Amino acid sequence: MKKRQITIKDIAKSLNVAPSTVSRALADHPDISKETKELVLAFAKEHKYKPNALALSLRTSNTKTIGVILPQIVHFFFSSVLSGIEDEAEKAGYRVIISQSNEVFEREVRGAYTLQESRVCGVLASVAKTTTSFSHFQELIDSGVPVVFFDRICTGILTDRVVVDDYAGVQTAVEYLINTGCRRIAFYGSESHMPISRNRRMGYEDALRKHGIFVDKSLMTICNNYKDALAITPSMLNLPEPPDAFFAVNDETALGILNVVKAKGLKVPDQVSICGFTNNAIAEISNPQLTSVDQHGYEMGATSMRLLLDHIEGRRESDQIVNKIIKTNLVVRETTR
Amino acid sequence: MKKRQITIKDIAKSLNVAPSTVSRALADHPDISKETKELVLAFAKEHKYKPNALALSLRTSNTKTIGVILPQIVHFFFSSVLSGIEDEAEKAGYRVIISQSNEVFEREVRGAYTLQESRVCGVLASVAKTTTSFSHFQELIDSGVPVVFFDRICTGILTDRVVVDDYAGVQTAVEYLINTGCRRIAFYGSESHMPISRNRRMGYEDALRKHGIFVDKSLMTICNNYKDALAITPSMLNLPEPPDAFFAVNDETALGILNVVKAKGLKVPDQVSICGFTNNAIAEISNPQLTSVDQHGYEMGATSMRLLLDHIEGRRESDQIVNKIIKTNLVVRETTR
DNA sequence: TTGTACGCGTTATCAA
DNA sequence: TTGATAACGCGTACAA
C-alpha cells in the first residue's frame, strides 16, 4: 500500500505553474511574486509536502549522511559514543546510518560496502576484534570518503583517529594505587593485538617500573569479563604473595574481582584496592562504589563527529591527519584508599 | 576533496558501449554476451564500482531504509532493542537511520520529519516522556509510511505495537514476593502518563489484591533512578511498619534500594527482598545478584523489525493492526528468597 | 545482442 | 516574473 508522497511536480500541476516555479517559491527565491509564493506555500503546507532527500542528494552529490561502524551497540561505552555522534550530527543537519559488526569481520566489510553504496559523506568506525585486514576501510578512503577511527583504531591506515589516552589513564590509575600503599598490583587485560590493549598493559608496566616495583608476570592475566574474573580471581588470591590491588581493563571485570574479594572476607579497600576502566554507569551503583578511569565515551563520539565534519565541510586540508586524544580521568570512589 | 565515485556511464564510456549494456551486464542479464559481461565485470571490479543506492532508490521508490526514533541510545534497554533492530534489518538488506529524541518532544518531531524526507520505508518508534501530541507520527502513517511502536507506545494512534507484558511481568514478580512470605511490599514507579507506567502499577496493585493484601499508598512512591532511591529508601525503612520487600520499575533503582538496605544492616533477602525490572547487565553483577524481570529488549527490537517488514513487503493487510506482546520472565537470583 | 529514450524528484541555467 | 530544459545515476521498454 505504498502511497507516493507529494512532489513538486504534483504541486505544479495542481496550481498550473511550472515545477521550477514551485521549486523557487519553496526556496523563497526573490524572483517569485508574492502571490505565487503564498499560493505555493499554502498548497505545500496543506498537502504536507516534504522535499525528497534522495532526489536532492542525487542532484547535489551530497547525502548529508554519515555512517557509523561499531562492534556492539549494547556496550555502555559504544552506546555512549554513538549518542555523542548522533547529537552532534543532528546539530549539523546530518543523518546517521548505523552498522554493527558484532565483532564479525565479514559483517564489518559488508557494512562498509553498504555505507559506500549509500554514498555517505563520511564514516566513523571502531574495528571489530577479529579484524586484521583493513582494505574495506582503505577502499572508503580511496573513494574519497573520509574516515575517522575512534577507540579501536586501525594503525595500518593513514587517517584521523580519536582515542582515549589509555596509556596515561592506566598509568595514572596504577600510580594512584602505588601512592596509596599498594605494592602487589594485579593486571587483568585483553590479549588482543589492538593498540588499546597494548597501551594499557604498557601503562601498567611503566607505572610499576617508574616506582621500582618488579613486574611480576604471575600477577598479569588475560581476563576482560565478569564471568572470567569470578573464575580467575580466587587463584590470584591464593598466590603465595597475593595481590593487594587489582587493575582491570573494564568495569565488569573489576566488579567480578570485587565480588570474589568480598566473598573471601577481605576488606575493600583496606586490604585490597580495586580499580576499573570506562567508568560505566555500574561503577557508581556498585557497593562499595568502584574507582574507575573515565573514558568519556560521549565526548569521544562528539569529538569524532566534529573532526569528520571538518573534513567533509572542507574546513581542513584533506591530506592532514589529526590524532585527537581524549583525556581520561581517574574517578576515585570507594574501592581504593 | 569530494572525489566522484565511478558510475555506469563512466564504465560505458571507457568500454565504448551503452550504459544500458553495462547495467545489464552487471545485473547478469541473459541477453548480454559472455564476452561483454566479462569485460564489464572485470572493469567494474578493477575500478571498485559500487551501485549508487540513491539513484536506485529514486528509480524504484524504495529506499531499503528504515528509521528508528528512540529516547536515549545509552540506556541498556534501548540499546538492546536497537541492536535487535539492526541485526534483523541487516539480515533483510535494510539500512537503519537512527534519531534519538533525548526525551525532548521537539527533537522527536524533527526526527520524524527528517526520516520522512529520507523516504524511509518504515519507522520504529518509542516516544519521549514529554510527548503528548502525536501528529508527527500520524503524519507518517497518513503519508503511507508504516510505523511500529515499541515499549513506549502511542495509544492515540492506530498502528502496530510491540510491548512487554508489563502488567503480567510485575504481577508475577510481586506474587513471587508474596509467595515467598513478603507482606509489606513497596513499589517504586514512574509518575508518567504512559501506559507502561500505569500497567506496572496495576500489576502491582492487582497482585496484592488477589492475595488479600491491603494496597498501602504509603508504600508506593515515584522513584525511578539510583540517586532518588538512595534518598527515598531510608524514610521507607523508618516507617512504623517498614517494607519487607521492594519492587522497582528498573534495576538501577533496585540497586539503590539494595545499597541502602545493606547499609542499614538488614539482611537481603532474609529480612528484605528486592526485585528490579529490565534485567540489565548490572543485575548479574550486583552483590547479591539482583532478582529482576527480564524485558527481552533484543527480542523486542527484532520482533518489531520483523513486524515492520511484514508491512513493508506486503505480507500483511495494511489495515490490520497487530499488537505483539513480548513475554517477560522473572529471573530469580539472590535478592529474593 | 546492443543501443536509445525516458522517468524517478530536484534545481540551476537559459530563454521568454 | 515565469517556463522549458538538462542533469544527477540507474533500469527498462522499445527499437534496431
What is the tens place of the pLDDT at every residue in B189-224? Answer: 998 778 889 999 999 999 999 999 999 999 999 999
CA separation for the pair A30, B305 (Å, rounded):
45
Minimal Cβ distance to A95: which of B80, B97, B226: B97
CB contact under 8 A, A74 and B83: yes
**CA A25 to C1' D4, whole Å:** 17
**CA B31 to C1' D12, whole Å:** 13
pLDDT by residue (tens digit) across A39-79? 999 999 999 999 999 999 999 999 999 999 999 999 999 99
Q: What is the pLDDT of residue B1?
A: 46
Minimal Cβ distance to B252: which of A111, A113, A285: A285
Asked if strand C comes closer than 7 Å to B3 Cβ, the answer is no
Asked if strand C comes closer than 7 Å to A195 Cβ, the answer is no
- CA A66 to chain CA centroid, Å, is 14
How many other C-beta atoms can be found within 10 angstroms of the C-beta atom of residue B167? Answer: 22
Confidence of residue A224 (pLDDT cuts 50, 70, 90): very high
Confidence of residue A191 (pLDDT cuts 50, 70, 90): confident
CA distance A206 to chain B (A): 31
Cis omega before residue A71 (within 30°)?
no
B330, containing H or E segment: strand B329-331
Whether the CA torsion B88, B90, B94, B96 is positive or negative: it is positive
Q: What is the pTM of this model?
A: 0.94
CB contact under 8 A, B73 and A53: no
CB contact under 8 A, A116 and B50: yes
Which residues are registered as beta bridge partners of A323?
A161
* Closest chain B residue by Cα to residue A260: B287
Q: What is the pLDDT of residue B238?
A: 96
CA separation for the pair B294, B296 (Å, rounded):
6
Q: What is the pLDDT of residue A2?
A: 63
Q: Cβ distance B249 to B257 under 8 Å?
A: no
CB contact under 8 A, A50 and B113: yes
* Closest chain A residue by Cα to residue B254: A285
Q: What is the pLDDT of residue A156?
A: 85
- List of A residues 25-64 with CB within 7 A of strand C: 26-27, 51-52, 54-56, 58-59
Q: Give the mutation candidate from A66, A226, A282 for the B interface (greatest B CB count, under 10 A).
A: A282
* Closest chain A residue by Cα to residue B262: A287
CA separation for the pair A285, A296 (Å, rounded):
18
- Strand C nucleotides within a 7 Å radius of protein CB atoms: 1-5, 7-13
Minimal Cβ distance to B144: which of A3, A72, A298: A3
What residue ranges of chain B have pLDDT lower than 70?
Answer: 1-2, 318
Confidence of residue A180 (pLDDT cuts 50, 70, 90): very high
Taking each helix axis from N to C terminus, what angle separates A8-15 and A34-46, rounded to the nearest 10 degrees?
Answer: 120
CA distance B90 to chain A (A): 8
**CA A14 to C1' C6, whole Å:** 23
Instruction: Indicate the residue type of B244.
Output: D
- Strand D nucleotides within a 7 Å radius of protein CB atoms: 1-5, 7-13
Asked if strand C comes closer than 7 Å to A23 Cβ, the answer is yes
CA separation for the pair A309, A84 (Å, rounded):
14
pLDDT by residue (tens digit) across B98-116? 999 999 999 999 999 999 9
Residue of least CA–C1' distance to D13 = B20
List CB contacts of A226: < 8 A, sequence separation 6 or more: A252, A253, A255, A256, B284, B285
Q: Cβ distance A69 to A126 under 8 Å?
A: yes
Contacts 24+ apart (CB under 8 A), B30-37: none
* A97 vs B contacts (CB less than 8 Å): 65, 95-97
CA separation for the pair A225, A184 (Å, rounded):
22
CB contact under 8 A, B95 and A118: yes
Minimal Cβ distance to B48: which of A50, A73, A143: A143
3-class SS of residue B243: coil
User: What whole-number percentage of chain A has pLDDT above 90?
Assistant: 91
The DSSP call for residue A288 is S
More reliable by pLDDT, A83 or A196: A83
Q: Cβ distance B247 to B272 under 8 Å?
A: no
- CA B309 to chain CA centroid, Å, is 16
Q: Is the pLDDT of residue A10 over 80?
A: yes
Q: What is the pLDDT of residue B2?
A: 62
CB contact under 8 A, A285 and B255: yes
Q: What is the pLDDT of residue A3?
A: 74
* A2 vs B contacts (CB less than 8 Å): 61, 144
pLDDT by residue (tens digit) across A231-251? 999 999 999 999 999 999 999
Strand order in the sheet with B329-331: B220-222, B185-189, B245-248, B273-278, B291-294, B329-331
Instruction: Indicate the residue type of B39.
Output: L
* Mean pLDDT score of chain B: 94
